[in-house]
Every structure is written in C-alpha cells, then in structure tokens.
Chains A and B, each alone.
Chain A
Amino acid sequence: MSEKEKKPSLLEQLGESQVWKSIFRSGVPKSRRQRMYAVLGNVFLHLHPARLPRHAVKIGYTWCMGGLSFFLFVVLTITGILLMFYYRPTVEYAYTDIIDLTEQVPLGIMREIHRWGAHAMILTVWLHMLRVFMTGSYKPPREFNWGVGVLLMTLTMFMSFTGYLLPWDQLAIWAVTVGTNMARAHPFIGHEGPGASLLAIGDINLVHAGSDIRFALLGGRFVGEATLLRFYVLHCIAVPFIAMIFMAVHFWRIRKDGGISGPL
C-alpha cells in the first residue's frame, strides 16, 4: 500500500508510543474483535456490554432514564464534594454557610446545580421505575434486579431526605421533624408503634423515646445538633457508599440477566 511509505502523523506516533500503549492495551480498535477487547479491557467501559443490541439505543423505549439517573448521581457526587469544602454541619454555621455558598462563594451556581440535580434525580429515578414497570422489564429473569432497583430508589429518597435538613432553615427542621415522626410508629422498634409496649421487663419499657429507632436516627429526642451531624454523614458518606455498591450490582445484573430489555 502507498500509505506505508507515508510518514506517520503525530497522532499515529502518539498511538504507537509506550505511554499510550501502556494505558490503552488494545490500540486503536479496527475490527469488531478489537472493539470488544477495548471495552473489556477498560475498567469504566467494562460494566457496559461489549456489544449492544440495536434496540438498546431506542430512546422512545428506554427513555434513557436509568442512564440519566446515574449521570445525575455523578453530577451530585462531584458538586457535593465541592460543597463540602465550604459547608460546616453545625447549628452555628450551617444556615449561614448555605447563604455564603449562594451569595459569596465563586460560582454560587454550584449549590443550585446540586439542588436542582437532586430534584431531577428523584424525577428520573421514578420515571425509570415507571418505564421498567410499563415495559414489563421487571419480569423474570430480571426480578432480582427489580428488587435491587427498588432498594436504590429508596436509597435515593433517603439521600434526598437527609440532604433536606442540611440548609438548617425552618422548612428543613420542621420537614425533618415531621418526617422522622413516622419512625415513632415503626412496629416494635418505634416507641409509639404496635408491639413496642410488649418489649418491657416488668414496668420498664425497653423501647421508649430515648431508645427507639427514631432516637438512633436523630441522635437525640429532637431534631438538633446531633441530628444535623448525623444527617450530614448519612447524606455525604454512608448512603452514597451503600448506593454505589448496589448500583454496581444493578448495572452488572442488567447484562447477566440477558441485557437491556427490548420491545417484543
């Protein structure tokens, strides 16, 4: 071929360099086989199937809601980490730090991206669930992944709920007061729930306002300093950590359960 005599371009030289080859083992994929190796050999791409069925990109069928949910999760993680550089989860500073984030900090829009991204993620997660339900994609062999998805939706709601308290304004405090009051009524482990009064030794109640599930959630009897810190840790570390583990399972199982579902 005449191309062989041509001097290799800078881009081609880069592709042949040791640095490039050490990072991308497969080289520039030119055949189907090479493309598959490129996907399998990349930690970020390998969660994806090496090859997609044609219907997988039919937006009208999938709405891309699962992908958008994950995209928003990544956006929220990045903006959330940035917000953590300025926000202090104490009664003294929390409220003013949020004002500071919107009014003084460069790119005050960062907090708004986090806030609107969170609203959007709730929407996309619910719409994803609706799509999966309407297309019957929860049916065997995907029933386990439906369960994982329901768990992920619950975790998303919990991330939203714990983040709600962090601005520490009246809306936040009372919303969380009302929301956590539901935990009082939890059977056996909520002190006003059914069965709680059965857990007693003589006259001493084992489950009371100072020992029930709400107490553990709030770190006290009321929404206060301890609650703010607890919700902060849950919001920034604990729940996203658990959610990421289940997301890995969720994405993995899409492939293992026969790939993305398609129109019949």
Chain B
Amino acid sequence: MAKPDKFIPNASIGADGDQTAMDRKGFLNWLTIGWLSFSAATGGFFVVMIRFLFPNVLFEPPQSFKIGYPEEFVPGNVDIRYKKKYNIWVVRNEEGIYALSTVCTHLGCTPNWLMAEQKFKCPCHGSGFRFSGINFEGPAPRPLERFMIYLAGDGQIVVDKTKSFKFEKGEWERAESFLKV
C-alpha cells in the first residue's frame, strides 16, 4: 500500500481550511518571545526585590550632628555625654578636639572610659585603648577610629560619622580628623 503524500494527524482534522492558523515556525517564534519577556520580567522583579531590602528612610540617630562649642570641652578630659546617643567620645588634648568611635576594633562591643586608669577598656574581651584611641592591650588589632570633626558657621562643633579616619592608614594626619583649638 502506498503512503499518502500528506499525513494528517487526527488532532488537526477540521483545521486544514483555516488560513489564519499559525504555522509551526510562527508558533515557536511567539513562544520564544513570550518566554523571553516572561524571564526578563521575572529577572527585573528579582532586582526590584533586592532593592526592596535597602530602606530609604532610617529610624536611627542622625549621622551628622552638633555637639556644642569648643569651650565646653576641657583639655585632658574624655567627654562621655554623647556615648549613648551618638556612640562617640569627644576628647580634648592640649592641641585640640577629636571624636573617637565607641566601637571596639576587635569585635564591635562598646568599651568604657576608666578615668582612674586613663584608658578605654572593653568589657567583652579586655581590649584596652589609650586616651588617644591607640590600642595597647587585649585582642584589639588596631586603634579606635576617629570621625570627621569641624566647626559650623555658628561656632559649634559638628561631628560627621559618615567619614571615619583610621590611624593605621595615616588618616589621623588629615585636617578634618582633628579640630585645632
């Protein structure tokens, strides 16, 4: 028995007269376009999802703030008034004023200023820092960081915590790490 020229599968019976029917290639093209746009939309949504995790508004203390006039700070004294609110110590020596970070450089705990021993002592693992912020005992690998400090137009001191200065990188030499008085 001879084979018929064209094999018509059962499922397509009745559809042969329709000229608008999509051919196989057209169908695959549309399928490709469809899947590509679906993947692009999904991929785009995943990017949006990641962005969603980064909040625009923070309910945290401001990172840049005024701490008062230079006269309020006594030479040779560590001012602990701003420790709780802003996590800084304001220290004044003979030459000027600097703002030290209260974050221990070992694992991020908060040391205490021990007046009698003239040192910052971390309660977590015993790291010790001198008046200057330089580490001298315990596991802390580097000195405390200093924050940007400068005078505002009204004569008050401004501390900006978004910019920090590291001693080991020689950044304490920079002008804004230290306020000359």
Contact = CB atoms under 8 A, between A and B. Distances in A.
A195 B59 CA distance: 29
Contacts of A174: 109, 124
A221 B86 CA distance: 12
B21 interface: no
A77 interface: no
A225 B60 CA distance: 9
A222 B162 contact: no
A221 B124 contact: no
Interface stretch (A24-32, A109-117, A209-217, A250-258): A209-217
- Contact residue range for chain B? 10 to 19
A224 B55 CA distance: 13
A78 interface: no
19 contacts: A174-B109, A174-B124, A177-B109, A178-B107, A178-B108, A178-B109, A178-B124, A181-B107, A181-B108, A209-B162, A211-B54, A219-B53, A219-B55, A220-B55, A220-B58, A222-B60, A224-B59, A224-B60, A226-B55
Nearest to A178: B107
What are the 5 tightest A-B residue pairs by CB atom distance, in nearest-first order? Answer: A178-B107, A181-B108, A216-B53, A220-B58, A177-B108
- Contact residue range for chain A? 10 to 19
Interface of A: 174, 177-178, 181, 208-211, 215-216, 219-222, 224-226
A262 B55 CA distance: 51
A264 B175 CA distance: 72
The prevalent SS among residues of B at the interface is loop
Contacts, number: 34
A226 B109 contact: no
Interface in B111-128: 124
A221 B53 contact: no
A225 B108 contact: no
Nearest to A211: B54
A239 to B, nearest CB: 15
A142 to B, nearest CB: 31
Nearest to A181: B108
Interface string B80-110: 0000000000000000000000000001110
Contacts of A221: 58, 60, 63
A238 to B, nearest CB: 11
A53 B54 CA distance: 51
Contacts of A216: 50, 53-54
Contacts of B162: 208-210
Nearest to B59: A225
Contacts of A211: 54
Contacts of B108: 177-178, 181
Contacts of A226: 55, 58-59
A210 B56 CA distance: 10
Nearest to B54: A216
B6 to A, nearest CB: 44
A226 B54 CA distance: 11
A211 B108 CA distance: 19
A181 B108 CA distance: 7
Interface string B13-52: 0000000000000000000000000000000000000100
A220 B54 CA distance: 8
Given A174-B109, A177-B109, A181-B107, A215 B59 contact: no
A174 B109 CA distance: 7
A209 B55 CA distance: 13
A206 to B, nearest CB: 12
Given A177-B108, A181-B108, A220 B124 contact: no
A176 to B, nearest CB: 10
Given A178-B109, A219-B53, A220-B55, 11 more contacts: A174-B124, A181-B108, A211-B54, A216-B53, A220-B59, A221-B60, A221-B63, A222-B60, A226-B55, A226-B58, A226-B59
Contacts of A219: 53, 55
A179 to B, nearest CB: 9
